Structures are given as structure tokens and as C-alpha cells.
Amino acid sequence: MTYQLELNEASIGFGATEVVHRVSLRLHEGDIGCLLGPSGCGKTTLLRAIAGFEPLRDGSVALHGKVVCDTRHMVAPERRRVGMVFQDFALFPHLTVAENIGFGLRGQGVRARQTRIAELLDLVGLADLASQHPHQLSGGQQQRIALARAMAPRPTVLLLDEPFSALDPELRGQLASEVRALLKQDGVTAILVTHDQTEAFTMADRIGVMNRGELHQWDTGYNLYHHPATTFVADFVGRGALFDITVNDRNSINTPFGRLSGKLPEGIAPGTTLQLLVRPDDIHLTTKQEGIRARIDERLFQGAAYLYTLQLESGDRFQCLAPSHQQHSVGDSVALKLDIQDLVLFTADGEAL
């Protein structure tokens, strides 16, 4: 199978320091991927390697089935047919909106160029602003023009480096949804770099969570949240609490919530110490008087739900989401039920079982 973008064991280093270590990922044509992680984790460096601005120390990068970089050769950036959108828009202030979009089409005939510009102006919904200059546009409009300019030459892959970080939070969420729709409508394969998981979930079909140069998991947003591969992914994506627990036997574990039953993987010996991930939506408040109880320490109204911070008798704290019509006060003692089948266990080394 030919992938539009394929990284195979890609490593990047500067001097004695390796900043990206053996990263492998694949994107089908028309898919949108995302590299998600904290600042300095190597995601932008990896994006620059895909574009052709950084050499690889090991591994390879392939675009539409053709290797463009490995340890033996490196195709120049201008020959890779890769588009880029930056966080600062990088529009030419002296050119009109239409001229900015058409900048990368200078090798085409006049009619073909005008047709493509018109298509993209319609696509981004700014046809009536074709003769305006960048300083006359809002931040969101400028970003849509930067996107249209990058899409104009029909790149093999479109790279987006923190494209919404210069915008206010409300506009970021709206624009991320709009950009995804535009990319899907035009069939563009793209990969986004961000530290914002909301942007990642909104934009991407596949998300790669990175930390310290390593790709911990390349997966759907659903699997990152519900089936994280490591404790780093569990902690970085969504809310949750990790508890040290002990294996009692093949069918039960001892936890701060008491003994929980459920079949464990083969080979886990009694007495083994593991970690248990509990998400806010794994906990349900009940009206029962017996069973697990906790005290409400904090509550945060979120419209459809309250986010409660709870504390067990042991002192362990965790969070719970409950419908907002089920109101409880700070200091109340409440009964809990856990969805045991949804809980995730990790080894002491932080790997999911």
C-alpha cells in the first residue's frame, strides 16, 4: 500500500544530542495527522525534516511512496511539493489577497492560475475580499488566506506549524473546525503540530503524542483517551488520576477504591505493583448508601456537567463528571460506582498492559 506520508524509524540529532528518536508513522491520502506534545519535544523539528529543512541521522521520509530523505540522500525542499502554513501567517503585505494565493502558481498559465485562485477564494469563503490587502483582514481571515496560498499548488502534503497559536482561544477552536472542513473538501493530506489537545482532537484523524523526542502513540483521539499506550499519554491527554495498586490474584486488584474484580492479562503475578488510570467519566455518583464513598472537595460548573474533585478516606484525590442537574455541595459525602471494564492498567515502567 502506498501512503501519502510515511516516516520509518526517523531520527534527528544536533551534534551529540538526539532530539527525535526512531519515529514511525503513516498517513493515507486525504487524512489529517497531528503531532501533539509539550514544547521542546521534537515535533516542530520532525515537521522541518518532512519539509526538507533538517537532515535525518537515521531512518527515512517518503512522500507518496517516494523516499525523499534517508541517510544516503536528501531531496531539496522545493522538489518535495510540500506546503507549509506558519503561526505568523507570513503573508506578503504589498500583495492583495488574490495575489497572495496565486504566489505559488507563477509557473502556470494565466487562465489556470486565475481559475485556481477563484476556486480557493470560494473554498475559504473570502471571494469578496480578493482585492484587499492583509492589513485589512482579521486574524482569522489572514489565516484562511495563508491556508489557501499553501493549498494552491496542490501539495503532496500540507504542514501546519502551530497555525492557530497567534489567535484568541475562541477563534482558535472555530478556525480549527473550519480548516479541517476545508482540507477534507479539497482532499488535502496534512499534518499539524500543536501543544493544544483540543486543536488536535478537532483537526486530526490520527494523533501522535510526543515527549522528549519519542513518539509514544500514533492513534485516533478516542484510543489516546480511552486506551493510552503509556502513562505519559494518559497524563497528557485529557484529565485523569493514576493510582498505585497491587495485584491480588488473576481476577482482582487492591486499589484505594477497595478490591476491584476483572480478569487480568496472563503472567501478572500476585503482589505485582501496577498503576491504575481513572478518568472523570469512569466514575458515576450513585444514591446507594453502601460501597465506595468520597468527600467532595471542589466543584466546577461546566454547563451540561459538574466536574467534581473528590477525596477518598485514604487522602487520594480524583475527578468525576456528573450531569449538572445532579447537584452536590462541597463537603458532601457521596457514593461512587466505577466502570471497571473501562479502566486501564500500566506496568511500573509506565507501559499499558
CA distances to 25, 62, 206 from 6, rounded to whole Å, are 6, 5, 13
* 135-188 residue pLDDT tens: 999 988 998 899 999 999 999 999 999 988 877 877 788 888 988 998 999 899
Topology at the third CATH level for domain 5-235: Rossmann fold (3.40.50)
Residues 69, 155: Cα–Cα separation, whole Å: 17
* 53-71 residue pLDDT tens: 999 999 999 999 999 999 9
Instruction: Give the lowest-confidence range in 95-104, 180-189, 335-344.
Output: 335-344
Helical segments of the chain, H only? 43-51, 97-101, 110-123, 139-151, 169-186, 197-203, 221-226, 231-236
Report which residue type is found at 5. Answer: L
Asked if 275 and 343 count as a contact pair (C-beta separation under 8 A), the reply is no
β-partners of residue 214 are 211
Asked whether residue 340 carries a pLDDT value surpassing 80, the answer given is no
The three cell numbers of residue 130 are: 480578493
Q: Quote the pLDDT of residue 106.
A: 80
Q: Which residue do the cell numbers 471497571 mark? A: 340
Q: Quote the pLDDT of residue 88.
A: 80
Report which residue type is found at 331. Answer: G
Nearest Cα to 147, choosing from 81, 78, 80, 86? 86
The structural domains of the chain, with segments of one domain joined by +, span 5-235, 239-346
Q: Span 20-36, mean pLDDT?
A: 98
Strand residues in the chain grouped as ranges (E): 5-14, 17-27, 32-36, 58-63, 66-69, 82-85, 157-161, 190-194, 206-211, 214-219, 241-249, 252-255, 258-261, 273-278, 283-286, 292-301, 305-311, 317-323, 333-338, 344-346
Q: Span 265-283, mean pLDDT?
A: 94
Asked if 305 and 324 count as a contact pair (C-beta separation under 8 A), the reply is yes
* 237-256 residue pLDDT tens: 999 999 999 999 988 999 99
Asked whether residue 1 carries a pLDDT value surpassing 80, the answer given is no
Asked if 116 and 108 count as a contact pair (C-beta separation under 8 A), the reply is yes
Nearest Cα to 219, choosing from 208, 229, 211? 208
Q: Span 194-207, mean pLDDT?
A: 95
Question: For the chain, how many residues are written?
Answer: 353
Residues 259, 243: Cα–Cα separation, whole Å: 13
Q: Quote the pLDDT of residue 262.
A: 84
- How many whole angstroms from its chain centre is CA 219? 9
Residues 198, 187: Cα–Cα separation, whole Å: 22
Asked if 274 and 234 count as a contact pair (C-beta separation under 8 A), the reply is no
Q: Quote the pLDDT of residue 266.
A: 86
CATH number corresponding to 239-346: 2.40.50.140
Residues 112, 109: Cα–Cα separation, whole Å: 5
Global pTM value: 0.91
* 224-234 residue pLDDT tens: 999 999 999 99
Residues 2, 144: Cα–Cα separation, whole Å: 30
CA distance from start to end of the chain: 30
167: part of which helix (H) or strand (E)?
none
* 276-289 residue pLDDT tens: 999 999 999 988 87
Q: Which residue do the cell numbers 534527528 mark? A: 12
Percent of the chain scored above 90 by pLDDT?
Answer: 80
Q: Span 107-122, mean pLDDT?
A: 92
